Structure 1
Amino acid sequence: MNPTHTSFQQLPVVDVSGLFSDDDAQRLATARELDRAAREAGFFYVTGHQVSRAQQSALIEQAKRFFAAEHEWKMRYYIGKSTAHRGYVPEGEEVFAGGKRDRKEAFDTGRELPADDPDVRAGTPMLGPNSWPEQAGFREAVGGYYKAAFELGRALFRGFSLALGLPEQHFDQYLRKPPSQLRLIHYPLDPSAEDRPGIGAHTDYECFTILLPTAPGLEVMNGEGEWIDAPPVENAFVVNIGDMLEVWTGGTYVATSHRVRKVREERYSFPLFFACDYHTVVAPLPQFATPEAVAKYPPVSAGDHLFAQTAQSFTYLKERLQRGELLLPDGSKALASFGQQARYASAEMDT
């Protein structure tokens, strides 16, 4: 158990405007606030982020238009037709640990890479071109938001670098063309959904996530294993630690388990899963490499972990695994292997 992971009852708020300052002291002070929030909760709001309201509004409007379209038209862009895991995700396609199908639909995008990119030509999973629907303004709005949110992610990573006692640009070397996905998610109106999960409890597989939600429904597990509501805050993003930062920090930062429940109104959600480059090997940093941490967190390929978790949760990929068309990378972990859920499950097995 992480001794600093607290029994918080609400998410901390971090003003990250200082990360964009030319003043070294101000950037360091902001980094320390990030560090405190990452250690104590692993989930927090960020304000002062420099992603404009216009960019947010354009994204939301395009998502509403897309998801309001006929199912047959949306299925023209079905993710199972993509070579890079991009496109439309119909309701029930994604299944998390526990085997429950999600009550949501989504559209997945990422960094646009051409077919002749060396990693794409090599068949690297999760990398390649997007699948853009024939909807006026969609590509421009979604692509513009992706670019702005990705720059916020770069700034946050530099803040984490300072917080961890590293050179400010330390993680830049791992951000050349990461498989960072932006998901457009729609939770339809369902008045009976109070006691039914909209999306199963899980951690995020990447380094951290930058989330723009439009309505309540998100719940976060605190250090005591309690589920805490995380409602939207005006012009703030929700940021949470993912599996790879948990590994890099030897468990000092926790990949906080979360879920969506009580979706009693139509809800849209836009997470940018901020990853590092596919072939990055992640292991505890020297300052966190205690014997316990090294034993618990053996080196892992960031991309292989992302692909393995994705392949175990998407129906079309699981079917390919069953047919022998895909193989999980060696050493792949089962779903829900990080975060508090994994810790509590381990403790129960030990008793």
Structure 2
Amino acid sequence: MTVKQVQASTLVLPIIDLRAFLSDPESAEAKAECEKAAEALTKYSALAVRDPRVSEDENRKFLDTMEDYFAQPYDAKLPDARPDFGYQVGVTPENTEKPRCGRDESCNAMVAQMAEENKPLPYDGTDPKWRFFWRIGEAPKETQFQRLNASPVMPAAFPQWETVMNTWGYLMHDAVSVLAEMLAIGFGLPRKTFVDMAKYGPHLLAPTGSDLEKYGKVGTVLAGFHTDLNFLTIHGKSRFPGLHVWTREGQKLLAKVPDGCLLVQAGKQMQWLTGGHVTAGFHEVCVVEDTLKSIERQKAQNRPLWRISSTLFYHIASDNVLRPLGGFATPQALKQYPDILAGKQVQAELGFISLMDEKTV
């Protein structure tokens, strides 16, 4: 869908540097970064991370591989789809996933109250993006949620697939795991609270691919207005700008990720565990004026015109219970966020976005 859009202000996200924490988690500098991370996520539902273990060269290799994968003919990719597993492994074709807000009355009511300059672009259709899901991390030995913990899919034309996916996936997983420890400290919880709950989670390396030859007009919505259903989402820097984020006050901003940094956003499971202290971050991806400059640069390098997001969804383990923790467990929060198995919460969300048959929820 293509519409005229209002130019949003640019937000340079706060940068959380992991160096001090990796060196000495007990140092004053590390503790200050923990508090800074908690404040940033509370204010913006997003932040930037600088991890000395993650190189831009690895991001480049990953983006190159995914551009080549998505640039294959449509029918060459379809054997990699697993609709019977809610597309939770393998490829999801374009125009399959629907933004959750298109079916959520409370979300629509919130948008109706926004000032015109802060409103998202239309989000009532399907997203024209493709996606590939690749499991990262150890699977649980026993689980009630086998469909959320399925075996991986190997694309036939890419013998290097497993190495490339695991290399980038574990870099992202390790970075967001350290941040999860820092956030726990920043929120006054025991350091291992979140990482222990995320052990054996259905973490998914989940790159999207949007064909900018087909969908490269300014105002085209590539991923409609939504929040993520998981705990934390982490991305490498995309080659094409176009991510809008919303502050909890409802201000729409074009996110700018500094060079050498990763982008992290809060998801629904974070909102649940903090009793709404942190809200899942609303965002959309669309084609903006600066996207056109990146298209020209990509053409000059004779590379496929596919916008890739090098995304990893970091999850709470499916069989763990979501409930407000520690000081977040107020009577009001416990009423608003009642106990639910993380796997049940994920299944319900997948039904909303048309990836899993709601009869199984």
TM-score interval (norm. to shorter):
0.7 to 0.9
Residue identity matched to 1:255: A
SS of 1:311 mapped into structure 2: helix
**1:215/1:232 contact within 8 Å kept:** no
The match for 1:124 is 146
Identify the residue that residue 330 of structure 2 maps to in structure 1. Answer: 290
- Name the CA shift for 1:43/1:83 in 2 (closer, same or farther; >3 Å): closer
Partner of 2:259 in structure 1?
A: 234
**Alignment match, 2:118:** none
Number of the residue aligned with 2:97: 94
Structure 1 SS opposite 2:272 = helix
Distance 1:80 1:272 in 2: 20
Q: Distance in 2 between matches of 1:153 and 1:11?
A: 16
Q: Residues 284-315 of structure 1, C-alpha deviation per residue, up to 9 Å, x if partnerless? A: 11311222222211122212111221232135
Which 4+ runs in 1 deviate beyond 6 A? none
Contact 1:193 1:261 in 2 (8 A): no
Report 1:196-235 matches (<5 A). 196-212=220-236, 213-235=238-260
Measured against aligned partners, the alpha-carbon deviations of 1:327-351 in whole angstroms (never above 9, x if no partner) come to 21xxxxxxxxxxxxxxxxxxxxxxx
In structure 1, distance between residues paired with 2:199 and 2:35: 26
Secondary structure of 1:103's match? coil
TM-score w.r.t. the length of structure 1 is 0.82
Q: How far apart, in 1, do the equivalents of 2:137 and 2:216 lie?
A: 39
In the alignment, what sits opposite 1:21?
23
Aligned residue for 2:78? 75
| Cα pair 2:198 2:314 within 8 Å, conserved | no
CA distance in 2, matches of 1:283, 1:123: 19
Identity of aligned residues (%): 22
Unaligned runs of 5+ in 1: 1-6, 329-351
Equivalent-residue separation in structure 1 for 2:68 and 2:10 (angstroms) = 37
Aligned-partner SS, 1:234: coil
Q: CA deviation at 1:8?
A: 9.3
**Partner residue of 1:301?**
341
Matched, 1:193 2:217: yes
Query: 1:133-190: CA deviations, max 9, x gaps?
Result: 1212111101111112111121011101111212222233223310111111111115
Deviation at 1:23, TM superposition (A): 4.8
**Aligned counterparts, 1:110-259, within 5 A:** 110-111=135-136, 117-119=141-143, 124-134=146-156, 135-189=158-212, 190=214, 193-212=217-236, 213-259=238-284
Query: If the length of structure 2 is used for normalisation, what is the TM-score?
Result: 0.80
Q: What amino acid does structure 2 have at the position aligned with 1:20?
A: L
| 1:131 to 1:19, Cα distance in 2 relative to 1, 3 A | same
Q: Distance in 2 between matches of 1:87 and 1:160?
A: 31
In 1, are the aligned partners of 2:11 and 2:256 still within 8 Å (CA)? no
Amino acid at match of 1:173: D
Q: Following the alignment from structure 2 to structure 1, what is the Cα–Cα distance between the partners of residues 50 and 216?
A: 33
Of 62-71 and 19-28, more deviation after overlay is shown by 19-28
- Alignment match, 1:58: 61
Contact 2:176 2:314 (C-alpha < 8 Å) held by counterparts = yes
Counterpart contact for 2:40–2:46, Cα < 8 Å:
yes
Q: Which letter does structure 2 place at the counterpart of 1:275?
A: H
Q: 2:86 & 2:55 partners in 1: Cα distance?
A: 32
SS in 1 for 2:206: strand
Q: Is the 8 A contact 1:280 1:301 kept in 2?
A: yes
- What is the aligned partner in structure 2 of residue 333 from structure 1? none
Cα deviation, residue 245, structure 1: 1.2
The two structures, once aligned, show a CA RMSD in angstroms of 2.3
- Aligned residues of 2:133 and 2:206 also touching (Cα < 8 A): yes
